[in-house]
Amino acid sequence: MSTVLAIDTSSGSTGAAVLKGGAVAAAEVVVEKNRHSHILFNQIDTVMARAGVAKAELECIAVTRGPGAFTGLRVGVATAKGLADGLGLPIAGVSGLRALAYTVTPFDGVIVPMFDARKGQVYASVLDGRGDFMADDVELVGEGAHLPEELAEKLKALGRPCLFIGSGVGAYGEVLKEKLGELFSSVGSSMWHIDPGAVATLGSIVFESGKAQDPATFAPVYHRLSEAEVMRTKA
């Protein structure tokens, strides 16, 4: 089994974990917005020490590739690329939404991980709660920036119980509950942050299936233009 260092800075938390021998050997999450660059490097050192793993033993760096906050994603991806390049390792990109949903599997219905994307949108996808989380067909509604009302209509058409998780529940849970009725359920806010252990686990699957990428070509997935890019398109 692979030895993987995982990093997550895609939302309001900063996390790192080490997977060794098929199990999460150490993990740490700090919930503190806009502090990723101040926290992450100490976290990495901490989980590596707790796991008893030297950097020379790592086989892959896993990182949440998006979607999420632009600044946070850039911190995580830049850190992963720097480490991977320095150690001669590949990068396993993991969807932050799938990592979030992985913590509540299996579920006899659909799981809807979603982050509050601001501007009246959520970053979300709809996943088969009993599907293979690394398979393409597990995704019943594609990952992207969605209007909550339009997402609710797509979920109503599926007609299956829906389990919501993530910060989007706090922002739009009442709207979704009103539209979906008894199909709606959600997990508590204590589970709205990505578990870096899930990133490590899913990242190891990416690595072992031969789908990890060269750090030179790896890039985050935003699903929406940044404010600066929007302004440039209007200029």
Q: How far apart are CA 223 and CA 195, in angstroms?
A: 22
> Cα separation of 213 and 175, whole Å?
39
The pLDDT value given to residue 225? 56
* Residue percentage of the chain with pLDDT more than 70: 95
- Residue 84 and residue 11 in one domain: yes
Q: 113 and 81 share a domain?
A: no
Q: How far apart, in Å, are the Cα atoms of 41 and each of 75, 76, 82? A: 11, 10, 12
Quick one: 44 and 112 in the same domain? no
Residue type, 179: K
| 81/60 same-domain check | yes
Residues 203 and 89 in one domain: yes
User: Please, are residues 113 and 101 in contact by the beta-carbon 8 Å criterion?
Assistant: yes
Cα(46)–Cα(27) distance, integer angstroms: 9
pLDDT tens for residues 179-219?
999 999 999 999 999 999 999 999 999 999 999 999 999 99
- CB 2 within 8 Å of CB 209: no
State the average pLDDT over residues 171-179.
97
Residues 179 and 138 grouped into a single domain:
yes
Residues 46 and 120 in one domain: no
Res 233: pLDDT: 45
Domain tally for the chain? 2
Expressed as residue numbers, the domain containing 150 is 105-186
Q: Are 181 and 199 contained in the same domain?
A: no
Mean residue pLDDT across the chain: 93
Least confident of 35-44, 59-68, 217-226: 217-226
Domain match, 87 and 68 both: yes
Q: Are residues 110 and 26 in the same domain?
A: no
Pairing of strands 13-20, 4-8: antiparallel
Predicted pLDDT of residue 230? 38
88 and 27, same domain (yes or no) = yes
In this prediction, residues 141-164 reach a mean pLDDT of: 97
pLDDT for the residue 232: 44
> Does residue 198 sit in the same domain as residue 90?
yes
Segment 172-180 mean pLDDT: 97
CATH of the domain at 200: 3.30.420.40
Q: Tell me: the pLDDT tens digits for 93-132?
A: 999 999 999 999 999 999 999 999 999 999 999 999 999 9
CA 232 to chain centre: 28
In terms of pLDDT, which residue wins out, 71 or 212?
212
* Structure tokens, 175: 């709207």
pLDDT tier for residue 224 given thresholds of 50, 70 and 90: low
Neighbour count for residue 151 (Cβ, 10 Å):
26
**Longest CA pairwise span in the chain (Å):** 53
